[in-house]
Amino acid sequence: MSGEAGDLVARAEEAARAGCSAAAEAATVADLDDLERTYLKKGDLVAVREAIKAVAAEDRAVVGRAVSEAQGLLRDAIDARRGDLAEAERAAGLERERADLTIGGSGYRRGHLHLVTQIWRELEDVFVGLGYKVAEGPEVEDDWHNFEALNFPPGHPARAMQDTLYVRLGEPEQVLLRTHTSPVQIRVMEEHRPPIYFIAPGRVYRRDTLDARHSPVFHQIEGSSSTTGSRWAT
């Protein structure tokens, strides 16, 4: 190998060493992009590759191989550092987003069920334990289930508009917000034959002015047992 070819090989190797060292010290991906332009798209390696045509024919393969090896080493070094930087950025992001469990809570306390709901569920549990089932029905009822089937005659005071919240649906005073949970009992008895054991808890509505002793919305629980033929409410 001629002296000129040897100098070109040495320049390629030196460029590879310098580029790999610079890649290892790169702090950002932008630095790596600059290195890639400096060493692979211009600089000594590009100059050596262009000088190959000036050396003896028998030495061109040696110089060309040196340039290819130098380029491969540089690309590997840049890619490896790029991967390290990406992993470091990912780890830093996870650290930024990590919840610090040592700083305690934010001061908010978990809420609880409304007291009425708690008592409602406790009563259900008691009666279910006695073998009763829990029945439900619509809160918007028709006149037949809410009054007629329960033997409330047409002139009964409970039917008056000052006591009942009627809904503007269908015939006048035929659809209303239920005034008790007794309609649920009617519906259960329509669908099931004795023996039946059930309770009917739920919201009911009366046309009362809200004060310390009255509310237009309150809760009621009724029950029925086929063994005694009795029904009760509270």
Phi-psi region of 131 (alpha: psi -120 to 50; beta: other; left: phi over 0): left
pLDDT, position 145: 93
pLDDT, position 8: 77
pLDDT, position 105: 62
For residue 201, say if its preceding peptide bond is cis, omega within 30 degrees of 0: no
Distance separating alpha carbons of residues 184 and 196, to the nearest angstrom: 13
pLDDT, position 146: 92
Beta-bridge mates of residue 225 = 197, 230
Q: What is the DSSP string of 113-164?
A: --HHHHHHHHHHHHHHHTT-EE----SEEEHHHHTGGGT--TT-GGGSTTTS
Beta carbons within 8 Å of 116's beta carbon, 6+ residues apart: 219
Question: Is the distance from CB of 203 to CB of 219 less than 8 angstroms?
Answer: yes
What pTM was estimated for this model as a whole? 0.49
CA 120 to chain centre: 30
In the chain, what are the domains? 3-103 (no CATH), 115-233 (3.30.930.10)
- Between strands 175-177 and 140-142, the pairing is antiparallel
Run means of pLDDT, 10 residues per run, the chain, 234 residues: 72 81 84 81 75 73 80 85 85 77 69 91 93 93 91 79 82 90 92 89 90 89 74 56
Rounded to the nearest 10 degrees, the angle between the axes of helix 57-97 and helix 44-51 is 160
Beta-bridge mates of residue 177 = 140
